[in-house]
A and B are shown apart, each in its own frame.
Chain A
Amino acid sequence: MANFLDKHKTKVVLFNQQYRNKKRLRTQKVDIPENLFTKCPFCQEILLTEAVEENDFVCPHCGKYFQLRARKRLEMLTDEDSFQELFQNLSSANPLDFPDYEDKINKIRKETGETEAFIAGKATIGGEKVALGVLDSYFLMGSMGSVVGEKVTRLIEVSIDERLPLVIVSASGGARMQEGIFSLMQMAKTAALLARHHEAGLFYLSVLTHPTTGGVSASFAMLGDVIIAEKDALIGFAGKRVISQTIKEDLPDGFQTAGFLLEKGMLDMVVDRKDLKPTIAKLLHFHAGGEAHV
């Protein structure tokens, strides 16, 4: 390893300058690396980027999961070249005229290359057609404002109109604060369409990834016919900080982890990242029709 590092001394120095002084948090985001090396935010091990990518963005050293960009998630879950994106023409306005909101949106759009925090479309997974949406936690914490709510709603409508199963992969801190009451109303709007979806007898699979909290968990994310969570995901309604500050309660170990929710009966299963696609495909297959009671 030492020889190897010597050869790439310049890159390592640059890398260290870029990452060394950053605060190391459980939820720290790791840029999808364009560099040769990437550092695990959990165990601090310097890793070959290629090795991280080949391991589905799971640290080969400590086994912890890096957060994924929505595009990467789509690539990992869908059959090759099957994804057709929808509703890219929707973008955020500033409904409350909230100070600095537009600047914030413009900045994050440039940084991420995405128009908003939710990517919606149609695809096949294991050969089964689906209406599929993925939240991007790198876009303002995957928070739900009018655009995210509208895209989720339209995706549910596509699912109803074309009688496709619906799969939504959540990764969100909850409400988009800068859109205030309009953000709150997206919880209602998505739930309204899910009531119709339910009535239509269609399958909805909700996949919870790190993190799924607040207004997203308290609306469409917890309304799946089947709810599966990716290993290590943080899932809850209120944030840990809010709970410990307002209620002055000590939080038990593993509180709000996928394992905690599974134990409390809130999830159907917790799945390793590598097993996510085959599990989704299997569930879609089970719901794809065939012989059934009349």
Chain B
Amino acid sequence: MSETGNAWAKVQLARHPKRPTAKTALKALAPDFLELKGDRFYANDDAIIGGIGTVGGIVMTIIAEEKGTTLEEKIQNHFGMPHPEGYRKVMRLVRQAEKFHRPVLFLIDTPGAYPGVEAEARGQAEAIASSLRLLFSVKTPLIAAVLSEGGSGGALAIGIADYLLMFENATYSILSPEGFAAILYKDASLAKDVAQNMKLTAQDLYGYGIIDEIISEPGGGWHLDNAGPLRKLEESVIREARKLMLLDSQTLLDKRQAKFRRHGIYHEENS
């Protein structure tokens, strides 16, 4: 595949009906995974699975956005679109991980945070904003991987990490191509045309220095070989977690903040 001449093809692969979801990755990475539910305020959000498991001998807190595979599950999980209680569960589990010095692994796969009346009423914006700020202050290693769809603030809210990986055919963007086309051109059907200009592929983002590593997939996509890319992901997660666990907590935090501080391209005239 060419570097960027295939953005829409990747959007489709990232959303392929047979593409594995986070559950598959969880099972492969941490066979002993134990789910911990609830935000302790309001509800449990099934769009985000959180818990503890062992990855290559390292006990980690793992937090994953899960779209669901059956229709029933997809509806229950709101197609992987978290509500505020999902992000509040994330914050609870991240604080817990910090307390017990466990590294955290985030698995990202969401079209975006849920846009709905209840989500707004319970403070979707506040939940995402608070999650962002918290992740910049927790003194435990954070690793994140965009498995398939990295949609907007809903992905970013669990995408603050010391090391960020992305699957080869995953996308990560400010908005879905449909939403993007609807906002800029008042026509969602132009999604296919705008996808190319959005620069949302793993290759684009690696080039921009937004992500640290690309996990390669078989030619036709991850669904043709579930286990292969997950083995590579596991190796990278273990390798990076070991490195990050050696840093003292202040260095870890300073590096994480500095990494995100750099993002942005603009002109600066001498003043």
Contact = CB atoms under 8 A, between A and B. Distances in A.
B130 interface: yes
B183 A177 contact: yes
B266 A146 contact: yes
A218 B263 contact: no
Q: How large is the interface on B (under 10, 10 to 19, 20 to 34, 35 or more residues)?
A: 35 or more
B200 A188 contact: no
Contact of B266 (A90, A191, A247): A90
Given A188-B156, A189-B261, A237-B120, A181 B172 contact: yes
A249 B270 CA distance: 51
A276 B21 CA distance: 49
A78 B159 CA distance: 37
Interface stretch (B56-64, B89-97, B121-129, B237-245): B121-129
A220 B265 CA distance: 20
Nearest to B176: A246
A195 B257 contact: yes
A184 B260 CA distance: 11
Interface in A252-270: 252, 255-256, 260, 264-266
B120 A185 contact: no
A150 B261 CA distance: 9
B208 interface: yes
A198 interface: yes
A209 interface: no
Interface in A224-249: 235-239, 242-243, 246-247, 249
Contacts of A195: 133-134, 136-137, 257
Q: Which of B153, B157, B205, B264 has the most CB atoms of chain A within a 10 A radius of its CB?
A: B264
A237 B210 CA distance: 24
A49 B74 CA distance: 55
A142 interface: no
Q: Which of A96, A193, A238 has the most CB atoms of chain B within a 10 A radius of its CB?
A: A238
A20 to B, nearest CB: 24
B261 A153 contact: yes
A181 B205 contact: yes
Interface in B175-229: 175, 179-180, 182-184, 197-200, 204-205, 208, 210
B152 interface: yes
Nearest to A95: B265
Contacts of A186: 263-264
Interface in A42-101: 88-93, 95-96, 98-99
Interface string B153-177: 1001101100000000000111100
Contacts of B268: 89-90
Contacts of B266: 90-93, 145-147, 150
B133 A93 contact: no
A262 B264 CA distance: 34
Interface of B: 113, 115-117, 119-126, 128-130, 132-134, 136-137, 152-153, 156-157, 159-160, 172-175, 179-180, 182-184, 197-200, 204-205, 208, 210, 256-257, 260-261, 263-271
Given A90-B267, A218-B153, 11 more contacts: A96-B197, A181-B210, A182-B208, A184-B152, A188-B132, A196-B257, A218-B128, A218-B132, A222-B123, A223-B133, A237-B115
